Every structure is written in structure tokens, then in C-alpha cells.
Amino acid sequence: MRQHTADPVPATHIPCYVFDSNRDAARHVARTIANTIRERNAFGQRAVLGLATGSTPVSVYRELIRMHHEEGLDLSGVVTFNLDEYYGLSPAQVQSYHQWMDESLFNHVNIPRENIHILDGTLPPGEVEEHCRRFEDAIRRAGGIDVQLLGIGRNGHIGFNEPPAVRASRTRLVTLDSTTRKDAASDFFHLENVPTQALTMGVGTILEAKKIFLLAFGEHKSRIIRDAVEGPVNDRVPASFLRDHPGVAFLLDDAAADDLTGRATPWLLGAVAWDEMLVKRAVLWLCHQTGKALLKLDVDDFRQFGLHELMRDWGPASKLAHRVFRGLMDTIEYHPAGTQPRRVLCFSPHPDDDVISMGGSLTRMAQDGHEVHVAYMTSGNIAVFDHDARQLADLMTELNRRFGIDEQKTPHLEIEVLQTLAEKKPGQPDSDAVRHIKTIIRWSEAKAAAEVCGVREEHMHFLDLPFYQTGTVAKKPPTEEDYRRVRELIDRLQPDQVFVAGDLSDPHGTHRVCAQLIFETLRELEETAGRRPDVLLYRGAWQEWALHVIQIAVPLSPDDVKTKKQAIFRHESQKDSALFPGPDDPREFWQRAEDRNRNTADLYNRVGLPEYYAMEAFVRWDGAML
């Protein structure tokens, strides 16, 4: 197996390494853990692991499972301690970390049950303190934690050590911060269902581990990563306490590292090796610093903000500014698929990502005469409110009664649906019947929305990928059947151009899995057939491409935006109050899309380019994996 190398980031108080993909980072950690286990096994000793939960470490556990089954990694001597657990949840509840760890790791490897330690969130208040003390004692008796895995919250928490954190804190019951509860709302299907308290290892407990790996992936983690590794040690950023540890490392992907000085503005740290992308980034940064448009920048601006070496190596100020100006002008493209007829395929992870992210471009391509296809990769059924399912069941019953279609089976179905929904607890998976009804709702909305953009019904493909079919926010790892469905569609259509969601801030992780499926299929196609289609990446409701990376910007008129909004409105189950709106953003999806597109146009205008009403932005896939 190849080595997974990473680039170190300069000028950070905690060692930070940026990997090409989150899977490479996960494999690096899994290899380190495996080496520790094998070393301990060789001496008849136990390896002690501190484990985290959530979407970030799941790839580590999948790699450990693979090594156990394919490489004979023996975990029978491993002892584990989990970081935390919600207080008030039984181990059988789907959101419990007991359940999550069983499904993600323990049920697939040979760690003895008596070696697994997870905090008990069901204890009465009077027994919690003693339980936490015994948990700490068990760690000490095991010889301390050899390798501790961590994620990081948007508020900087590690474990559930919320700000303001205490460096010497031990395992205890804590009250959850509002940011943490908002981030967990999708797991519990609504904020009001998220527990207000949790049990967690303390910061002091974590710092006693011999080695610590903190993993962070995605744009939504970039700011708190910067605060943790470049700012002062601060109880408002609990992860900053980790810089006192001699064996800690942060493992990041490009997106999570993007706000670090050594990545965002490396010229501020000293001499750099300038290339086209870095030149573009630096000159656009200078526009932001000075408040000037590109063609108004002068020599004094470059000197004042420390870019004199850039002028020395790449030409005078006017030449540099004009170079970047021309490059941005070349990104403006009214016809994203060109003017000659082509077959275009847009992959939409959820049933509304296509119109939210690139509804204007879909419409433009259909108007240009291209054969536009949309592939809806998942059903999106978990994002439908129960009341919408009740309403459709009632509608079906009444419609069938009035038209004399079925006056027997449909009423029984409605009764079954109403009964199962009434008995369902928050976050519990729906029954098969309810899931089918919610799938039909999203299917109908997706068809109606795509038709607004000019996509023909026979060019809409509903893949219903199996990895998504859990009925909960947590998804299964992709299987060969997921790959087969994606591969079969690409082989059948032979598209000239493919659009893929490159939004890694999607809180469900579905976008990341879908992109992985597509990218691996396209790389296989390139290796076997020596070709692949032109691949463009779009962003969704959560984030937009930065100005310096945009390669195609499609101008939209007010009428174009109006059409796009009409398409988004067809997703009625997601309007007004979506089930998974994402944290800290009360805007509806159509508002986010319009604001984002208009902001992109404004960014172009601010640096002196033509003023458009709105723009949709894309970058070309460079062949890298997630």
C-alpha cells in the first residue's frame, strides 16, 4: 500500500499536516494505530485507544476494519475508551455513541466486550460523579491512553469540553453549548430533541494521552482550526490547550487548512515560490486590503503590503494587475457547456442540489440546445417532515376514493402510516411505507423543479443509492452496488461534460460520499478507456468557491434568477422550514442561493470587472480524490 504523505504547514503552534484527501489522512492514522497494536501484541501488552465518534473518524475505523479482515490485524488485546456520550440517551437509541461505535467499529473487529469502555448516559444524577471517577481509574489501570483520536467542534471543543474550558478538567457531566446542539440537530431530526447535557473526558484527561491525532475536514472547520493553532492559548478555544502536548498533530484536508496563514497568505511569512494560482490569490488579497479594483492598484500598494518580491519576480504592478484582470475576465462564460451540441450530466446528491446550486446554468444549457441529464443520487427521504407524509397519505386515500380507484387498500395504508408516525420517537427510522411515501414526495418535487429548468423527464435518472438507505442521518459505507449504479449510468450516457457537487461542508456527509463514488468511477474510466469527460465542480447551499479558484463564472440576469427560484420553489417539502437547514442560517435555500449568486457577482464587480446581477461559479476537477 502506498504511503500517504502530507505537507506540513509553517508557522503554526501545533504541528499541522495537509493531506490530499480525508481518506489519506484517515489511512495515516489507522496505520499508526495498527503499528501501535502490533508492537504491543509482540510484547504481550495491551494497546489503549481513545476513540471519537462522528463523520470525521469513521474513515479511520473503516480502514482498521479492512486491516483486520484483509491483513490479519489482531485487536483482541486492545482496550478502548470513548471520549463522550450524550446524557439521557439509552445505549439502544440510534444517536447513542454506544450504538454508533458498535455499528462503525466494534461489531466488525475482535475487541473483547470487556475491554470497551463507553460512558453511561442513563445513570441517575447522584451516581454520575462516581461513574466518572471509575472511568478515570480504568484509564489509569490500563496504563494510560496510547493514541487518542479527536475531532473539533465549530466552537473549538474537543470531546464535549465546551468553551470556556478548564485545562485541568477531568471526566464529568457538562452542559452542551448552543453551537454544539445546533450542529447535532440533524442527527436528532430537530434542535429540540438534542440533549442539553453530556458526559465527557476532560481536557486534562485528554492531555495525558501519549499521542493525539486531531482530524478536521471541510471548509466549515477552517476558521476554528486557524484559531486553535495560530491564536493564543485560550479557554474560549478548548482545542488550543493541545499545543502544550508534545505528541499532538492536526491532520487536515485542503479545505480545513485554507485559512491558515501558511496556506492563505504565505507571503506574509517570508519568501515563497510564486506560481499562477498564488499570484492570483495574492493580487486579489491586495485588492481586498486596499479596497481598490485590480486596474487601480499601483506600486505603492504592492510595497506597502509586502508584495515587492512579487513585483520583482513577475513584473511591474500594472502588468501584474492586468494579468489577473485578464484571467478573471476569461472565467466569465455565458455558455458553460459551449455552443456546439453536447451531452451534459449533472449529478445531484440530494433531489434539490441541482437547482439550488446550478439551476441557472442548467436552464442556460437547455436553452443552448444541449442534451441535459440530471442524476439524483439519493432519495433525500429523511429530509421530509412527518406531516408531509401524513398529508400525502390522506391525499392518496381521498383521490382514490373520489375516482373509485381503490377504496380498500389505500385507507388501510393511511391508517398504518398514521399509526407508525404517531408511535415513532425523534430520530427513529421510518417504516418502509413511510420511507416510500417520503421518497415519492422528493421524486415528484425533483421532476417538477428540473422541468422548470428545461430538463426533459426522460433525462432524469433516480439512482436511489443503497449507502443512503438507512432511514437515519448516519449512512452506510458505499458498496459495489453504489459504484455499479454510477458506473452504469456514465457508461450508458457517455456524457461530454459532468457536473459534480464539490461542497464538502454538507453537514450530512452525503455530498462527500457521492463525489467519491463519481471520482473513482471517472478515474477508472480514464485508466481503462484513456479518456474521461470534462468535469466541473459546483457548490451548494453551504459554501461558495473563493474568487481566486473560480474557473467558470456563468452570468445570470434577474429573469434567470427568477427562473432558478421558481425551480427551487418546486421543492415544497424543503420550503419555509427545512428539516435539515444547517446550523446558524435561518435563510431558506432559495434565499441562500440567490444571496450566494449575487455575492459572487459583487466580488467580480469589486475588483473592477463587469457588473452582473448574479453568477454561478464552477471549478474544474483536477483528478484528486476526496
For the whole model, what pTM was predicted? 0.90
CB 6 within 8 Å of CB 17: yes
pLDDT of residue 507: 47
Q: Which residues, in sequence order, are CB contacts of 127 under 8 Å at separation 6+?
A: none
For β-strands 7-8 and 16-19, DSSP reports them as: antiparallel
Task: Give tens-digit pLDDT for 309-324.
Answer: 999 999 899 999 999 9
Q: Round to whole Å and give the CA distance between 615 and 328.
A: 13
Catalytic-residue membership of 136: no
- Higher-pLDDT residue of 544 and 504 is 544
DSSP per-residue letters across 461-488? EE---GGGTTSSSS-PPP-HHHHHHHHH
Grid cell 485508466 is found at 527
- Residue pair 202/169 in contact by the 8 Å Cβ criterion: yes
Query: Would you say residue 5 has pLDDT above 90?
Result: no
What ranges in 432-546 are assigned the alpha helix state H?
432-452, 480-493, 510-529
The DSSP 8-state label assigned to residue 145 in this structure reads: -
Kindly report, residue by residue over 256-295, the tens digit of the pLDDT: 999 999 999 999 999 999 999 999 999 999 999 999 999 9
63, 85, 162, 414: the active-site residue: 162
pLDDT tens for 598-607 read 999 999 999 9
CA dihedral 114, 119, 122, 126 (to 10 degrees): 110
Q: Which of 344, 153, 352, 179 is nearest to 239 (CA)?
A: 153
The mean pLDDT value for 575-601 works out to: 83
- Asked if 327 and 278 count as a contact pair (C-beta separation under 8 A), the reply is no
User: Which range scores top for mean pLDDT: 162-176, 177-191, 404-418, 504-518?
Assistant: 162-176
pLDDT given at position 55? 84
Tens digit of each residue's pLDDT (9 = 90 or more) over 387-407: 999 999 999 999 999 999 988
Cβ neighbours of 622 (radius 10 Å): 7
Work out the percent of the chain whose per-residue pLDDT is above 70.
97
Identify the band that residue 505 occupies on the pLDDT scale cut at 50, 70 and 90. low
Q: Which amino acid makes up residue 26?
A: A
Q: How many of the other CB atoms lie within 10 Å of CB of 264?
A: 15
Which pLDDT belongs to residue 2? 42
User: Residue 95 above 70 pLDDT?
Assistant: yes
- Rounded to whole angstroms, the Cα distance separating 79 from 113 reads 9
Residue 57 to residue 451: CA distance in whole angstroms: 40
Q: Is the pLDDT of residue 7 over 70?
A: yes
Average of per-residue pLDDT across 488-501 = 97
7-173+200-256 and 343-384+431-620: identical CATH topology: yes
The CATH architecture to which 343-384+431-620 belongs is 3-Layer(aba) Sandwich (3.40)
Asked if the model's pLDDT at residue 381 lies above 80, the reply is yes
For the segment 156-161, the average pLDDT, to the nearest whole number, is: 98
What pLDDT does 94 receive? 85
The per-residue pLDDT for range 123-153, each reduced to its tens digit, is 999 999 999 999 999 999 999 999 999 999 9
Amino acid at 412: H
The pLDDT, as a whole number, for residue 3 is: 46
Cβ atoms of 79 and 117 closer than 8 Å: yes
CATH classification code of 7-173+200-256: 3.40.50.1360
DSSP state of 611: -
Residue extents of the structural domains in the chain:
7-173+200-256, 270-331, 343-384+431-620
